[in-house]
């Protein structure tokens, strides 16, 4: 699966609420299978960077990880305080 | 425009090359228009974080920014050394 297909397969919710949100998607497409997967560590550092800009607590962050043969996708969804 | 629509509108290229790639998308959906846009600074810090994991030079990074009324999208495409 190419990672752009992943984005396109997402459903939008029907409600359009004016909320403050931040979404970060990191897709790592590996040429070979035996390469290291550094997304879990990267996830922690990305959150640390975001915390410099906005105050977020752990329960405001939804993390999804999707892996297959040659692509790892990390998705961070943050609902920001208004 | 909801930011998931942005992902879905992307075209995939027809060639399927086994390359090592990293794509980072940061979408900031603002509830109000007068809020600060911190994506440019965030971009620099995200690249600094990625450089801890992989050696990348500036010419390996493609940056696209898309803005409209209430949504800013930053897209970083990195082609990694094999």
**A30-69, pLDDT tens digit by residue?**
877 666 678 888 888 888 988 888 888 888 889 898 888 7
Contacts of A12 in chain B (CB under 8 A): 2, 4-5
Burial B70-82 (b: 16+ CB within 10 A, else e): bbbbbbbebbbee
Cβ burial of A63 (10 Å; 0-12, 13-18, 19+) is: middle
Chain A hits for B8, CB-CB cut-off 8 Å, are 7-8, 10
What is the residue extent of each domain of chain A?
A: 3-8+18-79
> Which CATH code is given to the segment(s) A3-8+18-79?
3.30.1070.10
B71 touches B3 (CB < 8 A)? yes
What's the DSSP call for residue A39? H
Query: How far A15 CA sits from the closest chain B CA (Å)?
Result: 11
**Is 3.40.190.80 the CATH number for B17-79?**
no
pTM summary value = 0.71
Provide ipTM, 2 decimals.
Answer: 0.71
Judged by CB atoms closer than 8 Å, whether chains meet at B10 and A8 is answered as yes
């Amino acid at each position: 699966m190419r990672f752009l297909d992943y984005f396109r397969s997402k459903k939008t919710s029907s409600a359009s609420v004016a909320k403050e949100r931040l979404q970060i998607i990191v897709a790592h497409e590996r040429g070979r299978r035996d390469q290291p997967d550094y997304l879990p560590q990267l996830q922690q550092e990305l959150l640390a960077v975001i915390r410099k800009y906005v105050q977020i607590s752990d329960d405001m962050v939804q993390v999804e990880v999707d892996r297959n043969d040659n692509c790892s996708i990390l998705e961070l969804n943050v609902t920001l305080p208004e």
